[in-house]
Structure 1
Amino acid sequence: MSKVIIMTDSNSGITQTQAKKMGVVVLPMPFYINEEMFYEDIDLSQEQFYEKLQAGGDIKTSMPLVGDVTDKWDELLKEYDEVVYIPMSSGLSSSCETAYMLSQDYDGKVEVVNNQRISVTMRQSVIDAKNLAEAGKSAKEIKDILEAAKFDSSIYIMVDTLTYLKKGGRITPAAAALGTLLKLKLVLQIQGEKLDAFAKARTVKQAKNIMIEAMKSDFEKRFDSADGRNINLEMAYTHDLEAALAFKEEVQAAFPENEIVLNPLSLSVSCHIGPGALAIACSKKIDIK
């Protein structure tokens, strides 16, 4: 049986400390802030990131450096037979495609998973991959299982401010100005490849209800699991844990059969939507056997 190690990047939201406890490897994502490069969770904490974001810093996301990726693979292959690498969704970054091209030089020892995940759903994929490896699956088998389930997930995100969507060019200045004037709360969705608009709400309460009802619909119609027993339910937030914990109580009341895992939203998403965002996410459970 091959000795398989699971590797991901910090878009999964898994910290370096958590990775050590989980027995996986996390490649820190690079960010350029006012032209200076930082690595997530290495020399850029969540607090530092939001301080710089709210101070108006020029923040740009970046792909992992090619050398950082291949050097880590080379290091891991000295101890392990195979590497399963789970980067962020190919629909949100070209880093997945680049990693796949690099993996072609490794004679099947590195398998790059393109299962269209980001943040908390990506985190779940890492957990699933780890469990599959422990069950004796090869790197290729793990890749195939995760990719077969790539559309079995949903994320709904309530954006508290339109400032950062405007700054990133994802909405027009006019739309942002009108939305701000009307105090609209935009609800975004990620189902598969891209981040798209889902709904507009006049209040935070209405936005929360929209997300909960959308998730209930997904449970029943997309995943054929109205009671949620076959679903991993997750939540995420940006820079406001108190609001996230309060929302968690509402979500738990709506889904009493599900254990909810709450984590900060990964910084690569946060820089485009800003602080104060709340998210519900889910992924269909994978049969490890």
Structure 2
Amino acid sequence: MVDIVTDSCADLSPELISRFNIRVLPLQVFIDNRTIPDGSISPQELFNLVSKTGELPKTSAPSIKEFLEFFEPADEIIYIGISSKLSATLPNGILAAHQLPQKRIHIIDSKNLSTGIGLLVLKAAELRNQGWTADDIVREIQATVPRVHTSFVIETMEYLYKGGRCTALQAIVGSVLKIRPIIEVRPDGTLGVKAKIRGTRRKALDSMLEDFRSHLPYLDSHRVFVTHTGCDEDANYLAKAVQSMAPIEEICITQAGATISSHCGPDTIGILFIADPHLTTEA
């Protein structure tokens, strides 16, 4: 059986990881003089450490050695990883794969983050379970990469700005207290400002919902993610609103891991889905 693997930036819950038989390689977060594997600390615990230390977390990609060990258990592997424009994780995976010519290791750049990766990983696992070959899965997932839509509301700019992950945000740092930016993952795998919403947080959430509504004519209604860094009430609000708009087969609410939380900060929340003009709501 093809081994479907990813990194911890996919923000998949333990239940989903177990249900779909996925292996996950953790990134590392350094804070309070400690190196913490992603997946072993909650967003709230992380933010409490930021408040305690006054420092932002630093994150690091898995080393080539860690990838070599991670790839060892299987002979045929499909690794779907965080955008190569956002992390050294995927390039390290490629270098490791080159050192294992005896294995069939397929590496896919998700050009995404968080459960934007997760959508691709779960689709790959479902195709594997349906008996698809690795080559066919890779072709289908690569074709799906540009169809993944990821956007999220940022409550505080401090994490992204100081982390240097989204230079397009610099123009609005001065107005952070008046504007809630909606960040999107762009087709090339970078981050950018999709909208600057003036007013309440609910207005920003509703703006994301309107964007979701605009994709309904060609939405893949199989699965939608609502992913957040510790704002359960808002997550339930978005999930209920999404479900009321379309007959979504599965809405997954997940919390972001330590790596994504380190760069996005508290009360970040997003809607992530697959949509394509070639699809219809009946597909």
| Both structures adopt the same fold (TM-score exceeding 0.5) | yes
For 1:26, give the aligned amino acid.
V
Which of 246, 250, 253 is 1:256 aligned to? 246
Output the aligned Cα RMSD. 2.5
Which of 189, 198, 201 is 1:204 aligned to? 201
Q: CA deviation at 1:101?
A: 2.6
Stretches of structure 2 lacking an aligned partner (at least 5 in a row) = none
Which of 51, 57, 60 is 1:59 aligned to? 57
SS in 2 for 1:185: strand
Q: Structure 2 CA distance, aligned partners of 1:63 and 1:32?
A: 11
Equivalent residue, structure 2, for 1:105: 99
Equivalent residue, structure 2, for 1:242: 233
For 1:139, give the aligned amino acid.
A
Equivalent residue, structure 1, for 2:269: 278
- C-alpha contact (below 8 Å) 2:77/2:104 kept by paired residues: yes
Q: Structure 2 CA distance, aligned partners of 1:205 and 1:276?
A: 12
Q: CA deviation at 1:241?
A: 1.1
Distance 1:249 1:135, change over 3 A: closer
1:143-154 aligned at under 5 Å gives the runs 143-154=138-149
Q: Does 1:94 align with 2:84?
A: no
Q: Structure 2 CA distance, aligned partners of 1:212 and 1:17?
A: 26
Equivalent residue, structure 1, for 2:24: 26
| Total equivalences in the alignment | 271
Higher relative contact order (CA 8 A, sep 6+): 2
Per-residue deviation, residues 83-132 of structure 1 (Å, max 9, x unmatched): 11111112221221221232123335211111323211211211111122
Equivalent residue, structure 1, for 2:118: 123
Q: CA deviation at 1:278?
A: 1.8
Distance 1:201 1:52, change over 3 A: same
Per-residue deviation, residues 2-51 of structure 1 (Å, max 9, x unmatched): x2111111111124564234311111111111443110124x33332222
Q: Structure 1 CA distance, aligned partners of 2:77 and 2:220?
A: 31
For 1:252, give the aligned amino acid.
Q
Q: Structure 1 CA distance, aligned partners of 2:191 and 2:22?
A: 27
Equivalent residue, structure 2, for 1:194: 190
- C-alpha contact (below 8 Å) 1:16/1:26 kept by paired residues: no
The sequence identity of aligned pairs, in percent, is: 22
Equivalent residue, structure 2, for 1:140: 135
TM-score calculated relative to the size of structure 2: 0.85
Distance 1:247 1:20, change over 3 A: closer
Q: Structure 1 CA distance, aligned partners of 2:15 and 2:213?
A: 34
Equivalent residue, structure 1, for 2:44: 47
- C-alpha contact (below 8 Å) 2:221/2:246 kept by paired residues: no
Q: CA deviation at 1:210?
A: 1.7
Q: CA deviation at 1:62?
A: 1.0
For 2:184, give the aligned amino acid.
Q
Q: Structure 1 CA distance, aligned partners of 2:221 and 2:141?
A: 16
Q: 116-125 or 64-73, which moves further after superposition?
A: 116-125
Q: 152-161 or 9-18, which moves further after superposition?
A: 9-18
Q: 98-107 or 186-195, which moves further after superposition?
A: 98-107
1:221-232 aligned at under 5 Å gives the runs 225=218, 228=219, 230=221, 232=223
